[in-house]
Amino acid sequence: MSTYVVLLPGDENAWEAASAEERAAIFAKHDEFSRALAERGHQVTGGAELTHSRTTRKVARADDGAVVVTDGPYAETVEQLSGFYVVESDDLDDLVQVCAILAEPGSAAVEVRAAVDHDGDGEA
């Protein structure tokens, strides 16, 4: 079984401006996604909705070795990483098909990335 991270970009300002009904519709999509994953043999092992990027703290090192902390957001874009799922799966192609439930026309694409397996035993 392999571990994948499903990255969910989103327009944070649109989310903040969304009505209760619009938010409920989005949460319903995530419920549908979770049900489809379970029905098709994928297992969600983690994940979270992320706070607004304005709460980001970027940590870097200056050339002199000093730690530099900058308040966010890190990237100046409309869409930011808004959440993620960690999914165990034996079938990447099917996982990608299920992720299409969360892909909205006109929005950034959902990204599916494999976690690196440093142990070499098939588990990430």
Mean pLDDT of each 10-residue bin along the chain, 124 residues long: 94 90 94 97 96 88 93 70 95 97 85 89 54
Residue 26: alpha-carbon gap to chain centroid: 14
Tell me how far apart the alpha carbons of residues 43 and 81 are, in angstroms, rounded to a whole number: 22
Q: Is residue 122 part of a domain?
A: no
Tell me how far apart the alpha carbons of residues 32 and 88 are, in angstroms, rounded to a whole number: 18
Kindly report the pTM of this predicted structure: 0.83
pLDDT tens readout for residues 5-17: 999 998 888 889 9
Provide the residue range defining the domain that includes 82: 2-114
Nearest to 87 by CA among 119, 28, 40, 52: 40
Q: Is residue 46 part of a domain?
A: yes
Q: Is residue 124 part of a domain?
A: no
**Cα-based distances in Å from 63 to 59, 60, 66, 69, 71:** 13, 10, 7, 14, 19
User: How many domains is the chain built from?
Assistant: 1
Q: Is residue 70 part of a domain?
A: yes
Residues 6+ apart with CB under 8 A from 62: 68
pLDDT tens readout for residues 42-51: 999 999 999 9
Q: Is residue 79 part of a domain?
A: yes
Q: Is residue 121 part of a domain?
A: no
Residue 85 sits in a domain whose CATH number is 3.30.70.1060
Q: Is residue 83 part of a domain?
A: yes
| CB atoms inside a 10 Å sphere around CB 79 | 16
